[in-house]
Copies of this chain bind each other. A is one copy, B any other.
Amino acid sequence: MKLYSYWRSSAAYRVRIALNMKRVVYEQVPIHLVKKEQSSPEYLALNPSGLVPALVTDDGQVLTQSIAICEWLEETVSGPSILPEKEYDRVRARTIAQIIACDIHPLNNTRVQAYLRTEMKQDDAQVQAWIHTWIASGLAAAEALIVDGKRYAVGDRPSVADICIVPQLYNARRFDVDLTPYPKLCAIDAEAAKLQPFIDAQPERQPDAPPT
């Protein structure tokens, strides 16, 4: 498979983790968001949303939207499950994933930040305050759904919830968000950082990451 990705995109990071968990071998095609490569006619022909990631399957189908891709991987690829087994655990994992994928990330992505700066004339401090607002409210809602005494967000196996939590915490640190109000999410993040599928998906380890 071929993954159109950007090293620092949260949504691409999620799909990299999911592909790694499912032990799918994939090639990466970097799409440089800051250079606006996602708005090139070639990329828009592939993904009309002009967002990363896009996954091209072995039989040439183009899949977009990180959570839809995770569900598709779960339904079509054997290997470790990325959803819990029990019904209420499954809905809880999906709820945490959606809190992050709907209520935090789309408000803070590159195109929205650009709009706030360019069209709405907001300065760095104002954009930073905006980002902090949505990260804080979303992480608080996610933290409230984490049950004590489990290794990951829902039970002792990582799921789509953790696939979303880890990139969102990476993103929160990048914007200097204080994470002390979210000890459960931080504990999950530390636990996931021991797992090879999560390690291999880290932004700094991607081929398009700038040299440190």
A residues sitting closer than 8 Å to B (CB atoms) are: 47-51, 61, 63-65, 67-69, 71-72, 75-76, 87-88, 90-91, 94-95, 97-99, 101-103, 105-107, 112, 115-116, 119-120, 122, 126, 129-130, 133, 137-138, 140-141, 144-145
**Which of B51, B99, B126 sits near A65, CB closer than 8 Å?**
B99
Q: How many copies does the complex hold?
A: 2
| A71 near B49: Cβ-Cβ < 8 Å | no
Residues from chain B with Cβ under 8 Å of A97 in the complex: 68
Partner of A94, one of B51, B67, B126: B67
Complex-state Cα separation, A102 to B100, whole angstroms: 10
Q: Are the C-beta atoms of A87 and B106 separated by less than 8 Å?
A: no
Residues on B with C-beta less than 8 A from A99 are 49, 65
With A120-B126, A144-B48 known as contacts, the answer to whether A94 contacts B107 (CB < 8 A) is: no
Option from B50, B72, B102 in Cβ contact (under 8 Å) with A102:
B102
Nearest CB of chain B from residue A122's CB, rounded to whole Å: 6
Q: Smallest distance from the beta carbon of A110 to chain B beta carbons, Å?
A: 13
- A106-B102, A112-B107 known; A48 vs B94 contact (CB < 8 Å): no
Task: Kindly list 7 other residue pairs between chains A and B, CB separation below 8 angstroms, not including A49-B103, A49-B137, A76-B87.
Answer: A48-B144, A72-B94, A102-B106, A106-B107, A116-B120, A120-B120, A120-B122
16 contacts between A and B (CB under 8 A): A48-B140, A48-B141, A48-B144, A65-B95, A68-B94, A68-B98, A69-B91, A71-B90, A71-B94, A72-B94, A75-B87, A76-B87, A102-B102, A102-B105, A119-B129, A120-B120
